[in-house]
Each structure stands twice: as structure tokens, then as C-alpha cells.
Amino acid sequence: MIQVQAAGSWPPGTAHSPRLAVRHQTRYAYDSEIEVAQHSAWLRPRDCAWQRVSAWQLHIDPEPEAPVQYTADAFGNWRLAFSHARVHDHLEVLSSFEVEVDPALPLNFAASPTWELAAQALRYSAGVQQPDAVEFMLGSHFAPQADALRLLAADLFWPGRPLLEATCALMQRIHGRMRYEPKATTVATHALQALELGRGVCQDYAHLMIGALRSIGLAARYVSGYLLTQPPPGQPRLLGADASHAWIALWCPVQGWIALDPTNNIAVSANHVTLSWGRDYADVAPLRGVIRGGGSAPPAVAVTVLPLAEMASLAGAQGQSCG
């Protein structure tokens, strides 16, 4: 087993910034032996203005033949690469870290420009430097520009309507139109398919909203991360019971990037942990690879997001109960 660690001290945050512990485990038990494998992973979280990461660790079993390579991708995310050249019948990748997330400021509707102003700022004008957000206005495989997606949003973006007000109305529409159903779609489902199905998971909600915004000339990016959730009333927390999460960030020429969670119809809060961002899921898939052999065994993914103080006590209690 290989372990990679990136340790650091806690920079000062706000008095109400929660410290969270995150574990993301992916395990493949292959149907047949793997001869050769090459993998890329987006599992090391970003340090951002609103979050600080500490004690990040990566465990890989079996151990790769060479050290894990760390590079920055086109969007500034950590990209990890590793490979296996020896025969193996399983793969386990575990990313764990601690993070401090600042509370989000309330959405400032009063400061929002009109949506037309935001769209105009993204258009090419001779002698005027375009913002970096332009690359997130262009269609991508999972979140294209399309007439069906434009029609989903067009009647909400009437002339002179504030950008943030119209975008939140779109988020509410998508939340009401889609039904959350984990097995309805796959990681290969794109926004137009999700629109036709009317159901899916957080990835589908995000792609649908991003595609609709791009189709009317606005810029939005896909954000991969985690969400601190609460167990049902009267039920204990369970390790590995959560899942990775995804949401969107809208670009505003006045307020910068505004993060919204269409799956839950809310603004992103201190319960959202940012992992990486890109044009769509394809840019930031947590783990993907090319293998020779292995059959078609799907991965088993277990995610745990807990307040830091609860992680050790819960792990100890559940370990004892399992004997």
C-alpha cells in the first residue's frame, strides 16, 4: 500500500468555520485479473479563498510501480496520475483530509446586474480583454449549448431582469422538474438526456443547469465536491453512507463566481466542500483509468463527511460494534 500525505497547519478562519473530516474510498474487485492499468484522479481538494485543507492523505492498494505524479490541470485543480504494470485483482483508492470551510455570505440580490449585462461582458469586443470565464460559456460534451436547454431558461430571463434573480428561478425550475433517482442515469448521461428523462442525480442537475445558462449566453462551471448531510431523525451516522456531490458556479461580472446547488435548490454553504471544478464532469471525474483485463465489475464508492470531532468517535464506536 502506498500513502501520500500533504500536511499543513490551520490558517486562521472565522469563528464559525466548521472543521470537517472527509473520507472518499473507491474499491474495484475485478472479475478477472488486471495486467496493466493507468489511472488519473481528481481527489486532492483545492485550497480556496473560502476553504483551507489540511492533513490530506492518499492510500493506494496495490502500490503503484512509480510515485504518484502531481500536476495542475487547465483549471488549476490537482491532477494525480499512477499506474500498475503487475497483475492484480483489485484496486482501492482512499482519499482523506480535514477542511475548514467559511460560512457563505448571503446572496446579494441588490448588487446583481441584469443578466444581459453579464452576457454582454462575455462577448468579444475589439480592444477589450475578455474575462477568463469565457471558456465556461462554451458548450461541452455533458453541458452543451442546445435549443432545448435554451427554451428551459429563456422565459425566466426577460429583459432587464437581475442575473441572480433569474438564475435562482432557473434553479428552482430544474429542482422542481427533476426527480432525484440514483440509478436512473450513469456517469455517461449528458444534459439533454437528463432533461428528457426528468430524473437523475446531482451530476445531472448540475449539467442541466450549466447547459441552460450557456445556451442563453452566460458562463457557468461544474464543481465537484462533498456535502455534509444529516442522518434521518433518530438514526445514527454511518461511515461511508454519503456520496460525492456536484453543483454549479455562475459567473457575474460584478460579484464574481456565485455557487448554487440545484439538487437541493439552495445557495452553496459551509456544508459544501469544494474538490475541483471544470467545464463538466469529464474534466474532474474523481477516478478514471484505462485497464487491460478486469471484466465489468463496477466500483464500490463510500464517502463520509463529518464534523471533525465526530469522525474519530464514530469510527471507534462502529469498529467496536463490528467486533
Nearest to 232 by CA among 224, 241, 223: 241
State the residue for C-alpha cell 469586443.
Answer: 125
Average model confidence (pLDDT) for the chain? 89
Report all structural domains of the chain as residue ranges with CATH numbers, in order of start: 2-102+285-321 (2.60.40.2250), 109-281 (3.10.620.30)
pLDDT band at 9 (very low <50, low <70, confident <90, very high): very low
The whole-number pLDDT of residue 3 equals 43
| DSSP strand pairing (256-261 vs 244-252) | antiparallel
Measured in degrees and rounded to the nearest 5, phi and psi for residue 177 equal -80, -35
10 pLDDT higher than 90? no
Please report which helix (H) or strand (E) contains residue 252, including its range. strand 244-252
The whole-number pLDDT of residue 234 equals 76
State the residue for C-alpha cell 434553479.
Answer: 171
Please report which helix (H) or strand (E) contains residue 23, including its range. strand 19-41
Tally of CB atoms within 10 A around 105: 9
The whole-number pLDDT of residue 229 equals 86
pTM of the predicted model as reported, rounded to 2 decimal places = 0.90
With 0-12 / 13-18 / 19 or more C-beta atoms within 10 angstroms meaning exposed / middle / buried, residue 113 is: middle
The x, y and z cell numbers of residue 295, run together, are: 471484466
Tally of CB atoms within 10 A around 211: 28
The whole-number pLDDT of residue 320 equals 44
Residue-wise pLDDT for 85-129, tens only, equals 999 999 999 999 999 999 988 999 999 999 999 999 998 776 667
11 pLDDT higher than 60? no
3-state secondary structure of 160: coil
3-state secondary structure of 320: helix
pLDDT band at 323 (very low <50, low <70, confident <90, very high): very low
147 pLDDT higher than 90? yes
Residue-wise pLDDT for 210-269, tens only, equals 999 999 999 999 999 999 987 778 777 666 668 899 999 999 999 999 999 999 999 999
% pLDDT > 70, the chain: 88
Helix 147-154, helix 163-177: angle, nearest 10: 110
12 pLDDT higher than 60? no
Alpha-carbon distances of 54 from 28, 307, 308, rounded to whole Å: 27, 14, 12
Task: Give residue 77's Cα distance to chain centre.
Answer: 12
pLDDT band at 131 (very low <50, low <70, confident <90, very high): confident
| DSSP letters for 26-94 | EEEEEEEEEEEEEEEE--SPPPBTTEEEEEEEEEEESPPSSPPEEEE-TTS-EEEEEEE-S-EEEEEEE
The x, y and z cell numbers of residue 246, run together, are: 456536484
The whole-number pLDDT of residue 127 equals 65
Mean pLDDT of 42-53: 96
CA distance 293 to 234: 45
Measured in degrees and rounded to the nearest 5, phi and psi for residue 299 equal -75, 150
Mean pLDDT of 32-61: 95
pLDDT band at 5 (very low <50, low <70, confident <90, very high): very low
Nearest to 280 by CA among 205, 218, 200: 205
Residue-wise pLDDT for 149-178, tens only, equals 999 999 999 999 999 999 999 999 999 999
Strand pairing partners for 79?
Answer: 71
Mean pLDDT of 312-320: 56
The whole-number pLDDT of residue 239 equals 61
